């Protein structure tokens, strides 16, 4: 009992230290903080949930189990060594204890699964997307394309060491992905040559980029700013040199950026939308063309074609 109380005290101290560290470090948003130990601060709703899952559910359980097992080990070493316990007991089975150490771990895992599956489901249960970006991993750079907005594929490469800060080297990219703030962004991820992975920690996004296959994920950036990620699948010699930079801007700035890239609001009914929305094209090209036509007058009619293709993506 004393040991349990002591374990609880240590656990509280460690948890307290974690929160204190979070407070004093003033962690940088959208990029790693030197000497920090916590997860990157969240800039998207699901990342908040992921941090809660890690810090409030997993970490205390892991800490408690580790301390409990450490306590058992110490107890056995002290109490049952050859000197303290010269005549060992001969029994080798204890049914009640065996039931307990089977059932309790199962209950712990089930408790974790409730939160884990909920979060996993939230990542897969994509809301209606406002903007769709196709991100393709290449050896060794990313390309981005906004099929619904007619922004042609462009290349995003690393900013060389002498043109950025030591902190941002291998994070900064020259032609970043640009997305509007507080909008649901669907990212279609694929690979052009080998397997890469698209990851932006502040959004809680990480998904493999696999040649011949389109994976999708989504995020909703809560704050205007610059967010960095990196290819997260070992993909060759320059794996460390294909950063991901996402600029989150206001809707007006996003519209201006789309225009500067030669894109625009959803195109009028033409064969193009069906062709460009390849992953969803098989569903109903005529259906997707119709809402697109009606929304051409809207400043950012991206939502219309995305809406029609969303069901097909599932
Ligand atoms: Cu890669």
Instruction: Tell me how far the alpha carbon of residue 200 lies from the centroid of ligand 1, in angstroms.
Output: 13
Instruction: Tell me how far the alpha carbon of residue 210 lies from the centroid of ligand 1, in angstroms.
Output: 10
What is the helix (H) or strand (E) element at residue 156, kind and residue range? strand 151-156
Instruction: Tell me how far the alpha carbon of residue 167 lies from the centroid of ligand 1, in angstroms.
Output: 20
Instruction: Tell me how far the alpha carbon of residue 228 lies from the centroid of ligand 1, in angstroms.
Output: 15
* Domains along the sequence of the chain with CATH: 2-84+94-124 (1.10.287.90), 131-260 (2.60.40.420)
The predicted model gives 9-21 an average pLDDT of 50
Instruction: Tell me how far the alpha carbon of residue 51 lies from the centroid of ligand 1, in angstroms.
Output: 26
CA angle 263, 265, 269 (to 5 degrees): 105
Comparing 13-22, 25-34, 84-93, 290-299, the range with the smallest average pLDDT is 290-299
250-300 pLDDT tens trace: 999 999 999 999 988 654 444 444 444 444 444 444 444 444 444 334 444
Between strands 196-200 and 184-191, the pairing is: unpaired
Say which residue the tokens 């809207």 belong to.
Answer: 298
- 220 backbone dihedrals φ, ψ, rounded to 5°: -135, 100
Structure tokens at 172: 């900064």
Query: Regarding predicted confidence, which is higher, 178 or 294?
Result: 178
pLDDT tier at 223, thresholds 50, 70, 90: very high
* N-term to C-term CA, the chain: 52
Instruction: Tell me how far the alpha carbon of residue 157 lies from the centroid of ligand 1, in angstroms.
Output: 12
Instruction: Tell me how far the alpha carbon of residue 242 lies from the centroid of ligand 1, in angstroms.
Output: 6
Instruction: Tell me how far the alpha carbon of residue 151 lies from the centroid of ligand 1, in angstroms.
Output: 23
- C-alpha 252/C-alpha 222 separation (Å) is 16
Q: Of 301, 183, 174, give the one whose Cα is nearest residue 250.
A: 183
64-117 pLDDT tens trace: 999 999 999 999 999 999 999 999 989 889 999 999 999 999 999 999 999 999
pLDDT at 15: 52
- 90 backbone dihedrals φ, ψ, rounded to 5°: -105, -10
């Amino acid at each position: 009992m004393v040991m349990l109380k002591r374990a609880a005290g240590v656990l509280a101290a460690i948890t307290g230290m974690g929160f204190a560290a979070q407070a004093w470090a003033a962690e940088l948003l959208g990029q790693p903080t030197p000497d920090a130990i916590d997860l990157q601060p969240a800039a998207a709703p699901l990342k908040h949930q992921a941090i809660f899952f890690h810090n409030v559910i997993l970490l205390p359980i892991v800490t408690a189990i580790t301390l409990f097992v450490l306590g058992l080990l110490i107890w056995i070493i002290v109490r049952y060594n050859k000197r303290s316990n010269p005549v060992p007991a001969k029994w080798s089975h204890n049914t009640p204890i065996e039931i307990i150490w089977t059932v309790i771990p199962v209950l712990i895992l089930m408790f974790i699964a409730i939160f884990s599956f909920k979060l996993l489901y939230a990542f897969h249960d994509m809301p209606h997307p406002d903007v769709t970006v196709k991100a393709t991993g290449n050896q060794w750079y990313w390309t981005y394309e906004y099929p619904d907005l007619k922004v042609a594929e462009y290349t995003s490469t690393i900013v060389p060491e002498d043109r950025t800060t030591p902190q941002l080297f291998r994070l900064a990219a020259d032609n970043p992905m640009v997305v509007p703030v507080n909008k649901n962004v669907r990212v279609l991820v694929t690979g052009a040559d080998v397997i890469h992975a698209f990851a932006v920690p502040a959004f809680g996004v990480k998904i493999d980029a696999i040649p011949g296959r389109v994976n999708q994920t989504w995020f909703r950036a809560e704050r205007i700013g610059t967010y960095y990620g990196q290819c997260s699948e070992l993909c060759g010699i320059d794996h460390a040199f294909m950063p991901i930079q996402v600029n989150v801007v206001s809707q007006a700035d996003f519209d201006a950026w789309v225009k500067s890239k030669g894109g625009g609001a959803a195109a009028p009914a033409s064969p193009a939308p069906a062709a460009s929305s390849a992953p969803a094209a098989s569903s109903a090209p005529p259906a997707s063309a119709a809402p697109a036509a009606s929304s051409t007058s809207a400043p950012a009619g991206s939502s219309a074609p995305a809406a029609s293709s969303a069901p097909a993506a599932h």
